Homo-oligomer: A and B are copies of this chain.
Amino acid sequence: MENDRNQLYSAYCDLMLKGADINNASAVLGWDQETYMPPKGAEARGRQLSTLAGLAHEVLTSDKLERLLKELSARTDMTDVQQNNVRLSLDDFEKNKKLPGDFVEELTKQTSECFNAWIEARNKNDFGIFAPSLTKMVGLKRKQAELYGYKAHPYDALADDYEKGITVALLDPIFAGIREQLPPILAKIKAAPQVDDSFFDRHFPKQQQWDFGIEVMKRMGFDFDAGRQDYSEHPFTTSFAPSDVRLTTRVDENNYASMLWSCIHECGHGLYEQGLPGDQYGQPLGQAASLGIHESQSRIWENCIGRGLDFWKFFYPKLQAQFPQQLADITAEAFFKAANKVEPSLVRTEADELTYHFHVMIRYEIEKQLIEGSLEVKDLRNKWNQLYQQYLGVTPPDDKSGVLQDVHWSHGSFGYFPTYTLGSFYAAQFYAQVQKDIPGLLQQVATGDLKEFLQWLREKVHIHGRRYTSEELCERITGQKLDPSFFIRYAVAKYKDVYGI
């Protein structure tokens, strides 16, 4: 009986491992595509990624896997780990199965084409180059929503891929809260004496920026024997196994802020990937809980820790030593304030923590409309520019700093953006909790000792993989569901220090 169970479970594991191997091979090809691949390699790479996607889909929607999952689900003698893996795999299976293999290959091929069109459009600063590819992509995503099926809104079907259970019905009130609660804080900040962050635009040589980033990442606990950092057009984190996690960054020599916190941010993602249980490679318990939780890990490091005064008590003297000329006249406190300057701006990835959520809200509104069909790609640039004017009071001077700034839609990732806001809100709630759980945390941070903090994240979040949903995890860690008021309190406290509001 037990033998029988173990045999079944092991047959299931073999299939899952095969699927994971193919998907991780795709991830290697994707990483190379955005870091080292020469331009003429794009077409063949598109083919190769599409073929691999088709193969993974074949394995992960095979009748054999279905049979195994149904047999295993009916059993009552499985271990807790086995039960959870099977339960989650069956969920995935039923969702995957809804997409025909042809569709998945087409989508993957279109993703590669669309990404390359986005690169070209960005280089030539012309949304028109990207629009035809994006139109096809939106068409495919609308089709995907229909194939998945949904109750209330087609967007729900797509967003669920990134954040299990998230819906327009849940997101609309969250973004309504942002529209309501952030403007008064922003108004107070605008009325206060402004912060000077102009020194970030001094000349910071590439190699030294890189070196300092690596030093911070080492101190955060990133294992460089199980990962690395490279350059790419748009910073991202990908993983081929917890023992091989890849981060990327980009450097602007005349805008240091662009790289520094992006490094810390991606490193937060990377630490999560390195902290996932390696013995569950290929199984759901070896995967991250959700994109929202993933983002909570990058943001708790980037914003709560990495933009905190205590963090810079330790790191600022080191930074000054790296850039003695550039930072000679800047105190640690002035640096901390500059790191938290609030100013409505054009580019999401360079936005401050507060106005950031307007950037997300705009994208959320736009992609919801694209998917429901109430907005067409040809009107996207105008819509974008109009919303930026409305919420942030700025208008993009060109497409590169406007509608072409993000890679996500070129990847076909519709429903992804809201996870950034969810991640921020989870991060604020976790950060409140960790300060209770580790009373000496800030003193540790101020001496550059980040080990206990990482250990807390490892135990509370990383090690569980996908065992709990975002909501369950949040309740286990903080005793309550996601509550955006944690973020509001965190923001008010921070801007009190920065702006005296």
Contact = CB atoms under 8 A, between A and B. Distances in A.
A36 B36 CA distance: 11
A393 to B, nearest CB: 42
Given A25-B52, A51-B18, A38 B228 contact: yes
Contacts of A228: 36, 38
A32 B38 contact: no
A43 B243 contact: yes
A51 B22 contact: yes
Contacts of A39: 225
Interface in A22-56: 22, 24-26, 28-29, 31-32, 36-41, 43-45, 47-48, 50-52, 55
Interface string A397-428: 00000000000000000000000000000000
Contact of A45 (B225, B230, B240): B240
A150 interface: no
A17 interface: yes
Determine chain A's interface SS by DSSP, over half rule: helix
Instruction: Name the residue in A22, A25, A36, A47 with the highest tally of chain B Cβ atoms < 10 Å from its Cβ.
Output: A25
Nearest to A54: B18
A47 B19 CA distance: 12
A21 B105 CA distance: 13
A61 to B, nearest CB: 16
B24 A44 contact: yes
A268 interface: no
A241 interface: yes
Nearest to A241: B44
Contacts of A32: 28, 31-32
Given A31-B32, A38-B226, A41-B244, 9 more contacts: A21-B47, A21-B51, A22-B55, A25-B52, A39-B225, A40-B223, A40-B225, A40-B244, A43-B243
Interface of A: 17-18, 21-22, 24-26, 28-29, 31-32, 36-41, 43-45, 47-48, 50-52, 55, 223-228, 230, 240-241, 243-244, 281
- Counting from the closest, the 9 A-B pairs by CB-CB distance are A41-B244, A44-B241, A21-B51, A40-B226, A40-B243, A21-B48, A40-B225, A25-B48, A39-B225
